[in-house]
C-alpha cells in the first residue's frame, strides 16, 4: 500500500521535476566554489573516472544481487510481495552504483595528489592522463560485461537497470530514467550541500580568493581542500545517472560562470548561480519532454546554460561599449575647449 502510494505520487513527471530541483540546487550551490578554485578540470576528471567504478559495480552486481536475494530469503522478507522486493533491489543496485562511482572518484583524486607530489608533471597533464586512463578502462569493462552470463541474469531480473539505454545514460544522462532511489540520493545530496555551504561558506570564500590570507587567519587549508574534494566527488557520483559522465562536470561550472558576468559579490553569486542552474535543469526537462520525451534533457539543460552565458556576455559587452562612449565624449569636449582657450590666449 505504501509503495503503491509512492509510485503514484512519484510518477515519471514528478520524479523528473523533483530530480531537476534537487540537482539544480546542488549544482548551483557547488558551482561558485568550483569556478573560483579553478577546479573545473578536476571535476571533469572525477566524472570520467567514475565510469570505471560504475562499470566495475555493474560487472559484479549480479553476483551481489544473488547474495542480496539470499539474505532476503534468510530474513523472511521474500514473501512480502514482488513490488517491495523489486523496490529493494532497485535501492540496492543504486547504492552499489553510487559506492562504485564514489570509490573510483576518490581513487582518481588520490592518484592525482600522488602524481602531483612525486612527479614534475603539470597539473593539466596529470588530470588528462588520469581521467583518460580510467575512462578507457570503464568503457572496456562495459563492453565486456554484456557478453557475460551474469548480464543475462541481471537483464532478466532488472531490465530497467541493465538495458542498453540504462548503460547509455551513465554516459550522456537521462532524467526520464531516474528511479526513486536515485532521487532519494539526490535529495540527500541537496540537503547535505545546503548545510555544508551554510557552515563553511566564509572559510571557503577566503580559501577561494586568497590561500595565504587563509593560512594567516589560522584556517586548516589542507583539511578544507580535502573535504571540498570529497564533497565534489560525492556530488559528481550522485549526479551521474541524471546528467551522465560527459555532461555533469559542465553543470558544476556553467551556472556560476553565468552569474559571474552579472555580480561580483560572493553571496549574490551563489544565489544567482542556483537560479541559473534551476532555470537550465527545469527548462531542459521541459524542452526535452516536449520534443524528445526527456531523452535529451541533460544536453538541453547544458545548452540553455551556454546560451545564457553568451547572451549575458553580449549584454555586458554592449553595456561596456556604451559606457565607454559616454566617458569618451566629455573628454573630447574638454580637450576641444582647452584648445580653443589656448587659441584665444595666444
Q: For 213-276, what is the HEC assignment?
A: HHHHCCCCHHHHHHHHHHHHHHHHHHHHHHHCCCCHHHHCCHHHHHHHHHCCCHHHHHHHHHHH
Q: Output the nine-digit C-alpha cell for 150.
A: 551474469
pTM: 0.77
Q: What pLDDT does residue 3 have?
A: 47
All residue ranges of the chain with pLDDT < 70 are: 1-13, 68-69, 72-87, 145-168, 288-300, 302, 324-346
SS3 letters for 297-340?
A: HHHHHHHHHHHHHHHHHHHHHHHHHHHHHHHHHHHHHHHHHHHH
Residues in the chain: 346
CB 296 within 8 A of CB 16: no
31-64 exposure pattern, b = at least 16 Cβ within 10 A, e = fewer: bbbbbbbebbebbbbbbbbbbbbbbbbbbebbee
Q: What pLDDT does residue 78 have?
A: 57
Domains annotated for the chain, with CATH where assigned, are 7-318 (1.10.3470.10)
> What φ, ψ does residue 81 adopt, rounded to 5°?
115, 145
Q: Longest C-alpha distance within the chain, in Å?
A: 109
- Give the Cα separation of 219 and 159 in Å (integer): 50
Amino acid at each position: 500500500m505504501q509503495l503503491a502510494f509512492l509510485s503514484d505520487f512519484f510518477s515519471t513527471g514528478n520524479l523528473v521535476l523533483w530530480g531537476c530541483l534537487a540537482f539544480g540546487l546542488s549544482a548551483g550551490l557547488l558551482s561558485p566554489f568550483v569556478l573560483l578554485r579553478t577546479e573545473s578540470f578536476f571535476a571533469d576528471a572525477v566524472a570520467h573516472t567514475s565510469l570505471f567504478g560504475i562499470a566495475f559495480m555493474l560487472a559484479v552486481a549480479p553476483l551481489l544481487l544473488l547474495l542480496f536475494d539470499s539474505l532476503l530469503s534468510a530474513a523472511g522478507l521474500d514473501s512480502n510481495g514482488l513490488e517491495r522486493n523489486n523496490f529493494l533491489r532497485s535501492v540496492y543496485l543504486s547504492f552499489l552504483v553510487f559506492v562504485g562511482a564514489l570509490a573510483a572518484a576518490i581513487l582518481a583524486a588520490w592518484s592525482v595528489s600522488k602524481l602531483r607530489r612525486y612527479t614534475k608533471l603539470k597539473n593539466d597533464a596529470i588530470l588528462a592522463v588520469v581521467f583518460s586512463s580510467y575512462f578507457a578502462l570503464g568503457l572496456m569493462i562495459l563492453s565486456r560485461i554484456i557478453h557475460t552470463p551474469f548480464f543475462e541474469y541481471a537483464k532478466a531480473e532488472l531490465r530497467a537497470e541493465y538495458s542498453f539505454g540504462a548503460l547509455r545514460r551513465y554516459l550522456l544522462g537521462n532524467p526520464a530514467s531516474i528511479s526513486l532511489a536515485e532521487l532519494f540520493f539526490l535529495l540527500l545530496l541537496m540537503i547535505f550541500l545546503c548545510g555544508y555551504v551554510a557552515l563553511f561558506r566564509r572559510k571557503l570564500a577566503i580559501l577561494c580568493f586568497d590561500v595565504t590570507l587563509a593560512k594567516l587567519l589560522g584556517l586548516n587549508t589542507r583539511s578544507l581542500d580535502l573535504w571540498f574534494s570529497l564533497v565534489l566527488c560525492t556530488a559528481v557520483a550522485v549526479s551521474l545517472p541524471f546528467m551522465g559522465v560527459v555532461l555533469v562536470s559542465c553543470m558544476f561550472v556553467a551556472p556560476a560562470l553565468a552569474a559571474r558576468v552579472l555580480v561580483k559579490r560572493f553571496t549574490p553569486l551563489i544565489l544567482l548561480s542556483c537560479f541559473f542552474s534551476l532555470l537550465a535543469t527545469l527548462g531542459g526537462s521541459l524542452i526535452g519532454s516536449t520534443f524528445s520525451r526527456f531523452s535529451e534533457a541533460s544536453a538541453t539543460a547544458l545548452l540553455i546554460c551556454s546560451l545564457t552565458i553568451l547572451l549575458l556576455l553580449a549584454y555586458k559587452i554592449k553595456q561596456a561599449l556604451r559606457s565607454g562612449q559616454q566617458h569618451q565624449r566629455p573628454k573630447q569636449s574638454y580637450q576641444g575647449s582647452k584648445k580653443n582657450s589656448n587659441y584665444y590666449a595666444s
